[in-house]
Amino acid sequence: MANDLAWPIAILIAWLAGEYGFRWLRLPRISAYAIVGFILASTQLGVLPETQSSPMLLLANLAFGLILFEAGYRINLRWLRINPWIGVTSLAEATLTFVAVYATATAFGLASSTSLLLAALSMASSPAAIVRVINEQRSTGQVTERLLHLSAMNCVLAVFAFKVIVGLIVFKTSGNIWQAVYSSLVVLSVSIILGALLGVVMPALLRAIGRTSHDSTLAFAISVVFLVVLTHHLKLSPVLATLTFGLVARHRRIVLNASQRGFGALGDLLSVVLFVFIAATLSWQQVVAGLGIGCAILAARQITKIAGLGFFAHISGIAWHKGLLIGIALAPISAFVILMLEQTRYLGVDLVDQLAPLAAAALILEIIGPILTQRALIWSREGPESGEG
């Protein structure tokens, strides 16, 4: 009975903390959710149940899926074609991050397989936190646009690198890198195809019943739920599938009503669940154990992101300082990383203990990351009333 109440109570407390934190301290709501989630976790106060139940993981994945759909929907492929420097920036910053984090981790004496996995995951910037903060700030402009595109791209790169490395090193199926690349490619391409398929079929169905002109938010929410559950069960990548779904739906010229941005109240509720859940997976012992190396990795990652973005800012068409701000804003990582790891656990490999340094990094960034993104958006003056006036 007490267990049944644990989650609703946690969500209520997190929501209150989010609202008060936002009003009084201008703290991004999701940072407050994370703090509450971490404190209430089984390993800390013990309010939340110990084992992360599968339904909660699925719910968190749904929340992430909805946000990724929205991120995909806001990607403009035509822009990436016309301004190839955006793509170059993304490749460069992700590669730099990979190299820097790998070097840092091995310097701390971690095994090279662990270092490779850490490096792959560190490439990503979590679109969940980024999209939520952008919507909260109601920001529009170059920093906002590029942030969305870059986080989507470096996530795809990170998923790819991670799958390859898992296939290659952890499973040790064979020493053959091509086989690992091949099997990851199959997982990735099937995920992408599923997302794309739904992205074509859904708009067609909507057109057939003449509902394109109306708000299609509900139809897409249902489709995202379906897609997440399907890819989860087929052990594919929900990240890529939902991202592709959003991307294809956008390019099929389906209009999502701006007032329903972020899937309205449904999106808000699920994001509370998501960010509480993510923080609740972390334990105090893990965080303390990996604090030093976690911080070193964070520093390496943040510096390379800022450097990469700053270096290509001018040539890609924006002022230097805006490039640096995007580098800062790319900080969030947690939702992406934790869900990747939880999914791997679900696939039968427990990387969580092996990647203990990540716990510290994930916790720090789950709280600090959204604040950095929020500050970068305020400093770039892309909010409606310049944020704090």
Partner 1 sequence: MPLNAFKTSQSLSLGVELELQLVSPSDFDLTTASSDLLELLRRKPFPGTVTPEMTESMIEIATDVQTSYEPLLQQLLDIRDVLISAGDRLNVGICGGGTHPFQLWSERRIVSKPRFKGLSALYGYLAKQFTIFGQHVHVGCTSGDEALFLLHALNRYVPHFIALSASSPFVQGNDTLFNSARLNSVFAFPLSGRAPFLLRWEDFEQQYFTKMEHTGVVSSMKDFYWDIRPKPEYGTIELRVCDTPLTVERAAALACYLQALCRYLLERNEPAPIEDDYLVYNYNRFQACRFGLDGSIVHPKSYEQIPLREDILTTVRHLQPYADALGSASALEHIYQLAHEGSDASYLRQEFAERGSTEGMVDAALQRFRYGESMQRSG
- CB under 8 A: which stretch of 172-180, 332-340, 365-373, 380-388 binds partner 1? 380-388
Q: Which one among 54, 173, 179, 386 touches partner 1, defined by CB under 8 A?
A: 386
Closer to partner 1 by Cβ: residue 348 or 389: 389
Residue whose entry in the numeric block shows the structure tokens 């969940």: 128
Q: How far is the CB of 147 from partner 1 (least distance, A)?
A: 12
The least CB distance from residue 154 to partner 1, in Å, is 18
The alpha carbon torsion through 153, 155, 161, 165 (nearest 10 deg) reads 180
Among the listed residues 51, 213, 353, 388, the single contact to partner 1 using CB under 8 A: 213
Q: What angle do CA 257, 260, 265 make, to 5 degrees?
A: 165
CA distance 228 to 51: 22
23 or 78: whose CB is closer to partner 1? 78
> 347 in helix, strand or coil?
coil
Q: Minimum distance between the CB of residue 375 and partner 1, rounded to whole angstroms? A: 17
Considering only 250, 301, 305, 375, the residue that binds partner 1 (CB under 8 A) is 250
Residues 6+ apart with CB under 8 A from 94: 123, 153, 154, 157, 158
Tokens (6 digits) for 82? 């016309």
Asked if 34 interacts with partner 1 (CB under 8 A), we say: no
Long-range contact list for 312-321, CB < 8 A, 24+ apart? 312/85, 312/88, 312/89, 312/92, 315/85, 316/83, 316/85, 316/86, 316/88, 316/89, 317/83, 317/85, 318/142, 318/146
Do residues 165 and 349 touch, judged by C-beta distance below 8 A? Answer: no
Min separation Cβ 41 and partner 1, Å = 37
Is the CB of residue 261 less than 8 Å from the CB of residue 22?
Answer: no
Interface residue with partner 1 among 95, 135, 212, 354 (CB under 8 A) is 212
76 binds partner 1 (CB under 8 A): yes
Q: Tell me the HSE value of 389 on the side-chain side, using a 13 A CA sphere.
A: 1
Which one-letter amino acid corresponds to residue 243?
Answer: L
Q: What is the DSSP code (8-state) at residue 259?
A: G
Q: Which is nearer to partner 1, 54 or 386 (CB)?
A: 386
Q: Tell me the residue type at 389.
A: G
When the beta carbons of 141 and 264 are compared against partner 1, the nearer one is 141
- Closest to partner 1 by CB, 348 vs 384, is 384
Q: 81 and 277 in contact (C-beta within 8 Å)?
A: no
Applying CB under 8 A, among 74, 132, 232, 375 the residue interacting with partner 1 is: 74
What part of residues 117-146 is at the interface with partner 1 (CB under 8 A)?
138-142, 144-145
Q: Does residue 318 belong to the site contacting partner 1 (CB under 8 A)?
A: yes
Cβ–Cβ under 8 Å, residues 123 and 360: no
Q: Give CA–CA dist 293/355, Å, rounded.
A: 11
Scan residues 145-184 and list those touching partner 1 (CB under 8 A). Answer: 145
Which residue stretch of 184-192, 232-240, 253-261, 347-355 sits at the interface with partner 1 (rule: CB under 8 A)?
A: 253-261
Cβ distance to partner 1 smaller for residue 155 or 254: 254
**What does the binding site for partner 1 look like in residue numbers (CB under 8 A)?**
73-74, 76, 78-79, 82-83, 138-142, 144-145, 212-213, 250, 253, 255-256, 258, 261, 316-319, 322, 381-386
